[in-house]
């Protein structure tokens, strides 16, 4: 053995160690960037996929006893049978009407309230935030009876007013807190400069603050859409006329009419879930774009 062999072996070991360490870092980054998000995505996508697969099975077929990734004989018979059992288009149109009215009101109320919290002083802001957190802890079921009595005395039962009432309160204090946190990123210097220019607070909210919190506006709109589209309790409590029912009620009636036809129930669930999924994907694409307004304009041209 020559004197240079130990040095040569030591150098080769260092090279191997560096390659191993560098390769481990690459593998770690690859796992963190692709594998872990893919696993989380599969965790949420899997129920949607099996719901879709179940809706494509022959009507009246029982649930499969084993895991079924795709039906042996896919068919859309369950979707064509839905309008025969319930007024599908009427219920969907009613849900769309409620959403079209409630989502803009929710965004307006939540943004105005959140901007008002942004303008409060330190002590007053903390008290207001504490009050919102207390309201957030109150269970919704605790006020069902009181709300129903109020709307009954007001003669608003069997109208869409009780369904739109949560929008007038921003649906949830969480949406107000989301806006308040987002407006906190607007510098005080900009607000003071706008005031020196003679702008009122509503003008500052509309032209200065609101354009800087577009991601929060989009998130609030998506959450409000999901809440109002999937709202089941309020239509069940307040609506009595069949021509005013929304699709969540229609899905419940479908279960009562034919509780053992799983493909039919899965088809109704797919129709109930698809709008929320599409709205989320649409909002995600806008949020990931460099210029959200440009993304919206390009979608409009298409």
Locate 69 and state its tokens. Answer: 């990734």
Q: Write the Ramachandran bin of 60: left for phi over 0, alpha for psi from -120 to 50, otherwise beta.
A: left
Residues of the chain with pLDDT under 70: 1-32, 289-302
Q: Are the C-beta atoms of 232 and 249 separated by less than 8 Å?
A: yes
Locate 128 and state its tokens. Answer: 């207001």
Locate 226 and state its tokens. Answer: 């999901």
Distances from the Cα of 286 to the Cα of 63, 100, 290, 294, angstroms: 38, 20, 8, 9
The residues of the chain that CATH labels 1.10.3720.10 are 86-297
Only one residue has tokens 């005080």, namely 188
pLDDT score for 286: 82
Alpha helices by DSSP H, listed for the chain, are 4-30, 36-55, 77-85, 88-119, 122-137, 144-153, 161-168, 173-183, 188-196, 201-204, 214-229, 233-238, 247-257, 262-288, 292-301
Per CATH, the architecture of 86-297 is what?
A: Orthogonal Bundle (1.10)
Distances from the Cα of 102 to the Cα of 231, 258, 268, angstroms: 12, 32, 23
pLDDT score for 35: 76
Locate 109 and state its tokens. Answer: 């109320």
Whole-angstrom Cα distance, residue 52 to residue 59? 13
Locate 141 and state its tokens. Answer: 């079921």
pLDDT score for 12: 54
pLDDT score for 15: 47
Helix axes 173-183, 214-229, angle to 10 degrees: 170
Whole-angstrom Cα distance, residue 151 to residue 284? 37
230 Cβ contact partners less than 8 Å away, ≥ 6 residues apart: 248, 272, 276
pLDDT score for 132: 87
285 Cβ contact partners less than 8 Å away, ≥ 6 residues apart: 295
**84-112 per-position pLDDT tens digit:** 889 999 999 999 999 999 999 999 999 99
């Amino acid at each position: 053995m020559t004197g240079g062999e130990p040095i040569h072996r030591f150098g080769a070991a260092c090279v191997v160690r560096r390659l191993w360490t560098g390769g481990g870092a690459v593998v770690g980054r690859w796992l963190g960037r692709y594998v872990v998000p893919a696993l989380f995505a599969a965790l949420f996508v899997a129920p949607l996929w099996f719901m879709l697969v179940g809706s494509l099975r022959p009507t009246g077929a029982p649930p499969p006893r084993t895991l079924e990734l795709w039906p042996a004989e896919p068919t859309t018979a369950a979707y064509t049978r839905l309008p025969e059992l319930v007024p599908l288009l009427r219920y969907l149109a009613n849900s769309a009407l409620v959403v079209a009215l409630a989502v803009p009101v929710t965004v307006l109320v939540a943004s105005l309230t959140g901007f008002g919290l942004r303008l409060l002083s330190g002590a007053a802001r903390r008290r207001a935030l504490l009050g919102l957190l207390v309201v957030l802890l109150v269970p919704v079921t605790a006020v069902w009876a009181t709300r129903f009595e109020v709307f009954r005395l007001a003669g608003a039962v069997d109208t869409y007013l009780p369904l739109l009432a949560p929008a007038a309160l921003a649906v949830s204090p969480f949406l107000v807190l989301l806006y308040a946190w987002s407006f906190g990123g607007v510098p005080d210097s900009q607000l003071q400069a706008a005031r020196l220019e003679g702008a009122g607070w509503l003008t500052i909210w509309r032209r200065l603050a609101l354009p800087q919190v577009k991601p929060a506006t989009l998130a609030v709109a998506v959450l409000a859409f999901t809440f109002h589209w999937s709202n089941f309790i309020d239509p069940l409590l307040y609506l009595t006329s069949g021509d005013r029912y929304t699709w969540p009620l229609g899905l419940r009636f479908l279960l009562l009419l034919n509780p053992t036809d799983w493909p039919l129930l899965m088809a109704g669930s797919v129709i109930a879930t698809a709008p929320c999924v599409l709205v989320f994907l649409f909002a995600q694409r806008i949020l990931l774009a460099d210029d959200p307004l440009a993304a919206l304009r390009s979608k409009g041209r298409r």
